Structures are given as C-alpha cells and as structure tokens.
Amino acid sequence: MFKKVLILAVLISFVSCSSEFSEKEKQEYTVKGKEIAQATFKELSTNLMTQMKAGGPAQAIPFCNQEASPITEALSKKYNVEIKRTSNKLRSCDNDPSEREIEIMDSYEQLMLENKELKPIVEIDENQKKHFYAPIKIKANCLVCHGKVNETMTVETDSIIKSIYQFDIATGYTEGDLRGLWSITFNK
C-alpha cells in the first residue's frame, strides 16, 4: 500500500513538474514577453500618433480598425509568438478575452483596489503552451479615444468610434485605469 502511494506521489510530482516553469525559465519568458509587448506597443502607438497628427481621430480610428491586426500579426511572425491585446471592456470583438484572460484581469483589478503592484504573469497551460500576461494601463494620450465622452473625449470622436464598433464599451476611462491585457502565447 505504502509503495503504491509512493509510486503515485512520484508520478504526480513528475507530471506536475513537466508542466511547471523553473525559476530560470520563468525569468526568461518574462523578459521575452516584456520585450515583445513593448515593441508591439511602440509600433502601434508610433503609427497611431502619426495618423493623429495627420488627421486627428477621424483618420486615426479607421487606421486602428484596419491596421492594428496586421501590425500585431507581423510582429507575431517576427517573434514566433501569438500577440493579443484584450480587455474586460471591449471595443473590437476581434480582441475578445479567454476565460483565463478574464480571470487575470479580475485579479489585476483586485490588486489595484488593494494598491498593490501589478506584475506580469507567466505560466504553462494544459497543452504545454507557454503564456505571458501583463497589464495595459491608460495613459493621458489614450483618453482622446478611450476617455469620458464630453470631458476628455469629444462626442464627435465617440460617434466615429460607434459607427465602426457598435458594441464599443471601451470609454469612460481615466489615467492609470486598467485598460486590458497583453496576452502573448509562445510557439516554443
């Protein structure tokens, strides 16, 4: 009996070990994830700001609509990962969150209520896929398109957004709010 329990315990620890990160791996994937999220943010925001300067929200919004996914797809290829931005208050249905992503956003919201620091999360799922998650927070220059209508965001901008995204609920934010999540899945 004891032997059986022992064998079982060894087996369980073996199985669970193989689906867990070593500390070293955890650090490596955290660094990689951060680098990819930053590069994607930079690419998206540089392009966005160019469009904003050229033609304001009326030009920048259709640009986001058409170019956000080709830009993230190109970077996904470059880094051999799948890059996703998601939110618990969605604008585009293309970015809808998985159950795990919702759980993580809920836990970040909770940490914010407790005034605690939000740290990236790396983990392995049941299919052995490695994931990186990190919070996306609202900065001052996001408010033109994600702010409070009639305060930090004009009614005109809101109506342009609503004409493309009828179900948009990604407004009403203030600086520092949790806007959503970077979710990066590694192919290896």
Residue written as token pair 């493309």: 164
Q: Between 30 and 59, how does the x/- string for binding to ligand HEC read (CB under 6 A)?
A: ---------------x--x---x----x--
Query: From the list 92, 152, 171, 183, which residue makes contact with ligand HEC (rule: CB under 6 A)?
Result: 92
Would you say 160 and 149 are in contact if contact means Cβ atoms under 8 Å apart?
Answer: no
Of the pair 124, 164, the CB lying nearest ligand HEC is at 164
- Interaction of residue 131 with ligand HEC, rule CB under 6 A: no
Q: Which stretch binds ligand HEC (CB under 6 A): 1-9, 25-33, 79-87, 148-156?
A: 79-87
Which backbone phi and psi does 139 adopt, to 5 degrees? -105, 170
- Closest contact distance (angstroms) between CB of 83 and ligand HEC is 11
For 80, counting Cβ atoms within 10 Å of its Cβ (0-12 exposed, 13-18 middle, 19+ buried), the class is exposed
**Can residue 146 be called a binding residue for ligand HEC (CB under 6 A)?**
yes
Residue 76: partners with Cβ closer than 8 Å, 6 or more residues away: 82, 83
